Chain A
Amino acid sequence: MADEQVSIAVIKDGNTAKPDPFTVCIIANPALEAPWGSGQFLPDQIVGARGAFDSCAAHIVDCLYGSLPGQGEMLLAPPDIRDEVRIVTLFVAGAGADDSNSLVGQDAVSNILVPRRAAFAPFMNRHGIVADIAYAVSSSASHARASAWFTSDDDGRSGVAFQLDGIQLFHRHFCLVPGTIAIHVDERSLTALHEFQHALSSYSNGKIVDLYVDGSLGVNKKRARPIPPAFGTYRATQHASDPMRDGLGYPAGWGTFHCGLHLPSSPAVMDNYFQGASPLACQNDTVTRQFLLDRLRAKVSR
């Protein structure tokens, strides 16, 4: 650690009157586990590319606030959220290529960058940062697909209760494990927002899942055929189903279905936005947007 050069930049102050504002940390990943789970580490070249890292961080912030040209979904832009979120970047040069400094693994069965979620909080804490959501930016030469682990909520602490299809859950104020994202330094388009929405959601209080696969269920995906007109009820509001899957259509054999969209002419943000005529224009479905805004509002109110 004596050889480390640490640079912390505050991109957005957030609510400076609070001791622990909702915080997003964007980190230059010091070391890659290659492959993921192997215990073998090599330096991530991002630590020699400060300019590229800063550009990526700026893109991430723009994407979260919906300020990319033509962007349709502006998740952090509502006035009661916008200035409450603290965003910082963390750039550590000279860190050893070892377990404690490795936030990203290179998946052995894909080209996905996998967040090493258990390493994030200790790494950030060593540099005086506590975050709710954290991005690790990599310049891996072989792996370029971003991924995210959802938040593990602290269900032993406070939160805001809500009903989802008759079940009481909580938008928890604090987490046991922050939502974590691994993203490539060259990544642009809507990916930073798509992954943030995964990471902001909760394994115990509501998962926001990928809509472009006929797989795991969540707040935003259910299973039934025929597709019922009503998708479900969130906080006493009934949300309609999307019978057409935003124009993409549900493939033959699929059993899952989605919630109705704010912009039916484009795929949902959690669907395959690359299949839209203008990927940046994609917006959330109605339950995803409301769920995530409520979750943000709970966290910024703590």
Chain B
Amino acid sequence: MRPLSPDEREAVALRHPEAAPGEVEGRLDEYERLLADRFAQDPDLPLAPEAAGLVGDREERLLELHRLLFDLPDEG
């Protein structure tokens, strides 16, 4: 997927002036890694239940990070 530009990363950090040093960067790195991992896995490959569970966990974590990074309300 297209990487984030330095300006885009900075824009995310500016949304969280109260965050501890490195906190937003760490969350953003995890967020980007999980997004990239999604595309590196064959979406049509049948998964064992355990593997399917890991995929579900990844998407749940992505949702959580998306809310944290972009100040979105928790609709859960």
Enumerate chain A interface residues (CB-CB to B < 8 A). 108-110, 112, 117-118, 145-150, 152, 177, 187, 191, 194-195, 198, 203-204, 207, 209-210, 212-216, 218, 251, 271-275
Distance in Å: Cβ of A182 to nearest Cβ of chain B: 9
B interface, over-half SS? helix
Q: Provide the residues of chain B in CB contact with A209, threshold 8 Å.
A: 36, 40
CB-CB under 8 A for A109 and B42, given A145-B2, A147-B1, A274-B5? no
Interface pair A110/B66, CB less than 8 Å apart:
yes
Q: Provide the residues of chain A in CB contact with B45, threshold 8 Å.
A: 203
16 contacts between A and B (CB under 8 A): A109-B59, A110-B31, A110-B66, A149-B43, A150-B39, A177-B44, A203-B42, A210-B36, A213-B29, A213-B33, A213-B36, A215-B34, A218-B40, A272-B3, A272-B4, A274-B3
Distance in Å: Cβ of A155 to nearest Cβ of chain B: 12
Interface pair A275/B39, CB less than 8 Å apart:
no
Chain B residues 31-75 with CB under 8 Å of chain A are 31-37, 39-45, 59, 62-63, 65-66
Measured in the bound complex, the distance between the Cα atoms of B32 and A70 in whole Å is: 28
- Name the residue among B1, B5, B42 with the largest chain A CB count within 10 angstroms: B1
Interface size class of B (residues with CB under 8 A): 20 to 34
Q: Provide the residues of chain B in CB contact with A273, threshold 8 Å.
A: 3
CB-CB under 8 A for A215 and B40, given A109-B59, A146-B1, A273-B3? yes
Measured in the bound complex, the distance between the Cα atoms of B2 and A104 in whole Å is: 15
